[in-house]
Structures are given as C-alpha cells and as structure tokens.
C-alpha cells in the first residue's frame, strides 16, 4: 500500500487544514463514478482543494513521490474516467465552485472547475444570456468534468459541444506548474491551440481549474415540436428530411419504444406507448414558430402517426421534461450501462436498427435515446444484475454496438469520453499513428504517467 511507501505528512502540511481527507467512510464516496462495469480501486486519500495554488502544491507533491492522481468532478461520468485506482489520491474539484467574473458586454464568464453546469446559465440570465452546452446531468455535473470529456447535450445540434463554448483555460500540469491558455477574444492564432488540446483529455494531461466560457444571448422565442412514428423507417425518413432542410433546430432528440414506456411507467405523460420512435425538438429565434410548423409538416410527409408544435412555454417544458427524464428513469430501474456512440446523421436510422438487432440477438433489453441532430445515440443496456455473467453480457453488447458505429463511419464515444471502459474499443477506431502521437503528447506533459493512467486513450 502507498501508505507504507510514502509519508502523507508532507502533503497534509503543504495544504490548508481539512483539504486532505483520510477517513475511510468519506473516501468510500469518492471511489467510483457512474460506470457500473468499471470496478473502483481504493485511494489512500481524497484531496479537496479550494484554490489553484492548492492543486498546484498537490501535483508538485505527487510528482515528487510518483503518486497516481485521479481528478474528479461530480462523479457523474459514465466511462470510468473518474474511478479511483488503488493507492492513488483522488483530487476532487468540488470546492472550487466560484464564478470569478461575468462580462456581459463581451458575452464571457470565468468559472472554476467545480461550478455546476446549470449555475452558469443562472449566473448570466439577468443579462439576457445563457450557456449552451447542456448535458443530461446539467443540474449536477460540473464544468470541470464537462471540459474533461468535451460533454455535449441536447443543444449541440445548433450550438455545438463544450469545446465550441470555451475561450481559455487554467490548467495545473503534472509537475505543479500552472498553464494559462487562450483568453477572452473570439479569435486567437498565437501559438498552438492548447485550449482545445486540454478539452476532452480526461485529466490525463493536466487538471483544469478554471475556464473562460462563451455565453450567448437568450433566443427571443422558442417553439417545441413532437412527432411519433409507427416504424423506425418512418422516423428515419423524417430525420433525413429535417437534416436535408434549410432549418437547424436547436434541439432534435429521439426516444425508442422501450424508453417511451419506461418514462410512462415512471410518470404518466400521455406518450404513445406503441410508437416505434418519438421525436422531440425545439426551434429558437424570431422564426421559431414558423420553423416548428415546417418541421411538423416534414414529419407528417414522412408518415408520422402524430405531429404537433407548440409555442407555449409550459407545454414545451413538459415535452422536454419527458426527454430529460429518460436516462434517469431507466437507470433507476436497475443495473444499467449507458452507451455513447455517434454516426453520421444520414446513418442514424441504420444505427438504431443495428442496436435493436443486437438487443434481440443477445436477449437484452436496450432502451435508446439520442441527440438525433448530431447523430449521437445513447443505448442503455438494461442488465439483470451486476453479477459476472451480466457484466460479461453488458461488455459484449457494448462492444458490438461500438463495432457497429465504427462500421457506419462513426465513433465509439460522442460525448462521454473514453475513460477506462472504452480503451479497447478506441483501438478499433484509431490508427496506430494516431495513438502514437497521443502517447507522445502524454509523455511530454506527464513523463512519469501519474495523471489518470490507463484512461482516455
């Protein structure tokens, strides 16, 4: 054990009182994230810094002692990227939760890594602004975790994923040095783009402590539309027509039959239990109502069983609530593995059909939701339990889903990250040249390999 090899006294002395936690009961809550197929290790301590200086001191100590460091946000990750390793220290950024600056004139906000995603929009709402990235966990996940995995969300189709809303970062490197990247300008061609390098690196290149984020004006109006389809083919035809149109919805989401029924079982929302595919979307801007009506027409032309639009905020919120409920409702029913793959939008129907086929062949219920606007699907594997046989079934299903996505020209992860769960799958997608370049970057920034080893690539 690390406690027998390294005296933690120097770490405790280097940080403010109460920063280093060694109580086993407290540590237990920091061992795992939400990836149920990745077994957690046991850390020797949890470090909960409040300042960048404290993170710097912690990593300087870890570098000197060769101690493994696992960075952690809110622990909502689904790929095992924040799962503890034996004899590591977990560095939790939860207490770095200050919004350092709001600059409404330049549409920017500077926040620390522990700020919850939804709090960013609330902080700028009085200025008529909002923060576009909205992962399903936006009310609990933190900006640091969102940055580490390049999280997406429902508004990706129009506003992009996390990296499209980041202007600069503050990052503590493996040896304790503090790196500042980017700035406040919308354009910046000075040197290599280290901001984008750090986004999505899953804590393997440094620990992000704060970010300069781009916020945008709230749309003047929003309309919501919904459509149900008797078959996947009909739903696929509607999605193809929408993608080929001159309109860009701000939200375009799908739920399959199994997911619709899971939501209805949890809370009556009068959704059509017999539908093969439920499409929920939103449009925003001065033509939102007109665009929503045009999208409803496209759905009807594609053979929708029902299609309607509303500009009423309460009705729209109710429909969007059904989509936001979906993932949580399925996970609450029992052992669940939430997959994350993305394909070109024109191949979304094929991917939906392939997921359905995999479930039938393996005798496994799979509830699928997804961000149809950018081809990102989340098949949720409903396991009988988390015993060895069920875990093996889950891994086989996940591997086949990822192989199907790659075969369709897609990726094994659209927004959840590689973590530990998908490392083997990543090697099926990326070339040896790509992997060797990534290894060289890792070696340059973390030569001793102390930062989240075995994760991310």
Q: What is the pLDDT of residues 246-259, one digit of tens each?
A: 999 999 999 999 99
Domain 2-92 has CATH 3.20.20.150: no
Q: Which residues pair with 47 in a beta bridge?
A: 20, 91
Handedness of CA 395, 401, 407, 413 (dihedral sign): negative
Query: Could you tell me whether strands 336-338 and 99-103 are parallel, antiparallel, or unpaired per DSSP bridges?
Result: unpaired
Q: Which residue ranges does the chain devote to CATH 3.30.43.10?
A: 2-92
| pLDDT tens digits for range 161-194 | 999 999 999 999 999 999 999 998 889 999 999 9
**Average of pLDDT values for 51-56?**
98
Q: Which residues pair with 129 in a beta bridge?
A: 217
Asked if 235 contacts 277 with a C-beta cutoff of 8 angstroms, the reply is yes
Q: Which residues pair with 282 in a beta bridge?
A: 224, 251
- Residues 6 or more apart whose Cβ sits within 8 Å of residue 195: 166, 167, 168, 169, 181, 182
What gap in Å lies between CA 26 and CA 43, rounded to an integer? 11
Q: Which residue ranges does the chain devote to CATH 3.30.70.3450?
A: 219-322
Q: Whole-number mean pLDDT of the chain?
A: 95
- Residues 6 or more apart whose Cβ sits within 8 Å of residue 316: 222, 223, 224, 282, 310
What gap in Å lies between CA 69 and CA 284, rounded to an integer? 43
pTM of the predicted protein model: 0.94
Q: Which residue ranges does the chain devote to CATH 3.30.465.10?
A: 99-217
Beta-carbon count within 10 A of 2 CB: 18
Asked if 78 contacts 340 with a C-beta cutoff of 8 angstroms, the reply is yes
- As a whole number of Å, the end-to-end CA separation of the chain is 27
Q: Is the pLDDT of residue 204 over 50?
A: yes
**Average of pLDDT values for 338-363?**
97
Q: What is the pLDDT of residue 136?
A: 87
- Name the phi and psi angles at 157, rounded to 5: -55, -35
Confidence at 292, pLDDT banded by 50, 70, 90: very high
Q: Is the pLDDT of residue 6 over 70?
A: no
Q: Is the pLDDT of residue 4 over 80?
A: no
Class of the 99-217 domain? alpha beta
What gap in Å lies between CA 197 and CA 85, rounded to an integer? 25
Q: What is the pLDDT of residue 376?
A: 97
Q: Is the pLDDT of residue 457 over 80?
A: no
**Average of pLDDT values for 11-17?**
97
**Average of pLDDT values for 47-58?**
98
Q: Which alpha helices (H) appear in 101-256, and where do they start and end? A: 117-124, 143-149, 156-159, 194-198, 232-244
Q: What is the pLDDT of residue 300?
A: 98
Q: Which of 37, 34, 21, 33 is nearest to 70 (CA)?
A: 33
> Whose structure tokens read 């990593």?
59
Beta-carbon count within 10 A of 369 CB: 28
Helix (H) or strand (E) holding 182, with range, is: strand 178-182
Q: Which residue ranges does the chain devote to CATH 3.30.70.2740?
A: 334-450
| pLDDT tens digits for range 259-268 | 999 999 999 9
**Average of pLDDT values for 387-413?**
97
> Which CATH number among 3.30.70.20, 3.40.50.1100, 1.10.760.10, 3.30.70.3450 corresponds to the domain 219-322?
3.30.70.3450
Half-sphere exposure of 367 (CA within 13 A, CB side): 25
Architecture of domain 334-450: 2-Layer Sandwich (3.30)
In degrees to the nearest 10, what's the CA dihedral of 79, 84, 85, 90?
130
């Amino acid at each position: 054990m690390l406690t027998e090899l390294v005296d933690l006294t120097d770490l405790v002395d280097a940080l403010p009182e109460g920063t280093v936690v060694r109580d086993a009961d407290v540590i237990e809550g920091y061992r795992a994230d939400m990836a149920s197929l990745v077994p957690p290790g046991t850390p020797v301590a949890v470090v909960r810094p409040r300042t960048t200086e404290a993170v710097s001191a912690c990593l300087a100590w870890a570098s000197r002692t060769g101690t493994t460091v696992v960075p952690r946000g809110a622990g909502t990750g689904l790929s095992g990227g924040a799962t503890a390793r034996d004899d590591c220290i977990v560095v939790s950024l939860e207490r770095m939760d200050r919004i350092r600056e709001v600059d409404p004139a330049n549409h920017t906000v500077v926040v620390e890594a522990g700020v919850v995603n939804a709090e960013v929009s609330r902080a700028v709402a009085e200025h008529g602004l909002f923060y576009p990235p909205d992962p399903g966990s936006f009310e609990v996940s933190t900006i640091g975790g969102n940055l580490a995995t390049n999280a997406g969300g429902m508004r990706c189709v129009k506003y992009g994923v996390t990296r499209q809303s980041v202007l600069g970062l503050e990052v503590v490197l493996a040896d304790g040095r503090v790196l500042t990247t980017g700035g406040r300008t919308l354009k910046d061609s000075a040197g290599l783009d280290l901001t984008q390098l750090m986004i999505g690196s899953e804590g393997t290149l440094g620990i992000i402590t704060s970010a300069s984020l781009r916020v945008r004006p709230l749309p003047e109006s929003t309309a919501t539309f919904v459509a149900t389809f008797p078959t996947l083919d009909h739903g696929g035809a509607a999605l193809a027509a929408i993608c080929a149109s001159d309109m860009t919805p701000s939200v375009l989401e799908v739920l399959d039959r199994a997911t619709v029924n899971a939501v209805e079982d949890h809370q009556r929302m009068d959704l059509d239990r017999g539908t093969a595919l439920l499409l929920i979307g939103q449009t925003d801007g001065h033509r939102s109502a007109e665009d929503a009506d045009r999208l409803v027409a496209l759905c009807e032309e594609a053979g929708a069983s029902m299609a309607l639009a509303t500009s009423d905020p309460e009705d729209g919120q109710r429909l969007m609530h059904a989509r936001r409920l979906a993932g949580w409702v399925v996970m609450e029913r029992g052992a669940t593995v939430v997959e994350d793959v993305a394909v070109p939008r024109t191949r979304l129907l094929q991917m939906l059909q392939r997921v359905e086929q995999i479930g039938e062949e393996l005798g496994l219920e799979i509830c699928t939701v997804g961000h149809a606007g950018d081809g990102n699907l989340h098949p949720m594997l409903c396991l009988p339990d988390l015993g060895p046989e069920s875990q093996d079934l889950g891994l086989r299903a996940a591997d086949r889903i990822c192989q199907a996505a790659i075969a369709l020209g897609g990726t094994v992860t659209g927004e959840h990250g590689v973590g530990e769960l998908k490392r083997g799958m990543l090697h099926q997608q990326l070339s040896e040249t790509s992997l060797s370049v990534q290894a060289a970057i890792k070696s340059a920034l973390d030569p001793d390999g102390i930062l989240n080893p075995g994760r991310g690539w």
